[in-house]
Amino acid sequence: MKLSVNTLARHRAAGAAFAALALGAGAVGCSKGAGDESPALTPAAAVAKAAKKTDEITSLHYRMKGQVPEEGRVTGEASMSMKPLAMSMKMTAEDQATDGPVEIRLVDKAMYIGGGAKAAKEMDGKSWIKFDMSALGADKELSANQLGGGQADKNPATDSTFLTGSKDLKKVGTETVDGVKTTHYKGTVPLDAFRKSLKSQDKDTREKREKALDQYTKMGIDSLTMDMWIDGQDHTKQFRMRGTADKGPLDLTITFLDYNKPVTVTAPPAKDTVDLAEMMKGAQQG
């Protein structure tokens, strides 16, 4: 093969690292023709009601666009099922055009990262790399967190609940997003203060939200500016988060197309796949 194991893995892992971030952003909603929420709801009550809806999510389909630390500008589309855990994503790092689009699949406790014809030229005709999620972590340079596995097992809607910790939450107005009438809310969330407020939550809720918070504190983000567009069924149709990380700005918008519908993800053909464990074993023997 033309590339070393570590070089190739890092090259494709960049896409998975973005996937981890994208999967950890937003909530979901897609009720066509839904009207405004009850006028009696305060901004805090409306956001809290939408946050509660996240527990009902079993699957989702969404688009993403924005800027993430290190990767720069990104666009993509993904579908994800919570139980059984499965995910399919196609995304492009706009500022790294030479890499081309990347496809990521998570199925049967394995992550597959593919780069099409470009990747095939670098891997003796193979266009996919397989990462066994249960076997990752021995090599610190190829940890589950870096490859996207660190956040893949949580409901991505959890991050939207951060907005319940805003002390300056306000209603911006009524807007139509992707054909759906929504109410726009905005606020800032100091992450340390929000983490402390979780002590009053039940154990399951607290653990899920703390896990979601960890990815942002590790990035060096102290505070998030958040926007949420809620439809008439109390679901979040669109979600935006902005913050300053140690390695660059975060500004990501998620637009949700549907949710709680069947999601089917299949593994790539074995003939087109290189197993990371076998690659590393071969490199060590070499």
Each residue's pLDDT tens digit in the chain (286 positions)?
A: 444 444 444 444 444 444 444 444 333 444 444 444 455 689 999 999 998 888 788 898 989 999 988 888 989 999 999 888 899 988 888 887 656 678 899 998 888 988 766 666 677 778 888 888 766 544 433 444 444 444 444 566 778 889 999 999 999 999 999 999 999 999 999 999 999 998 888 888 888 888 888 888 999 999 999 999 999 999 989 989 999 999 999 999 989 998 899 999 999 998 988 888 776 665 555 5
Compute the distance between CA of residue 216 and CA of residue 197 in angstroms, rounded to an integer. 17
* Secondary structure of 61-90 as H, E, C letters: EEEEEEEECCCEEEEEEEEEECCCCEEEEE
Q: How far is CA 211 from CA 72, 150, 207, 217, 284, in A?
A: 24, 10, 6, 10, 35
The full set of domain ranges for the chain reads 5-285
Instruction: Tell whether omega for the bond before 69 is within 30 degrees of 0, i.e. cis.
Output: no
pTM: 0.78
Q: Is 63 exposed, middle or buried (0-12, 13-18, 19+ CB in 10 A)?
A: middle
What CATH topology corresponds to 5-285? outer membrane lipoprotein receptor (LolB), chain A (2.50.20)
Does residue 180 sit in helix, strand or coil? strand
CA-based Rg of the chain, rounded to a whole angstrom? 19
- Record the tokens describing residue 99, joined without a space: 């890499």
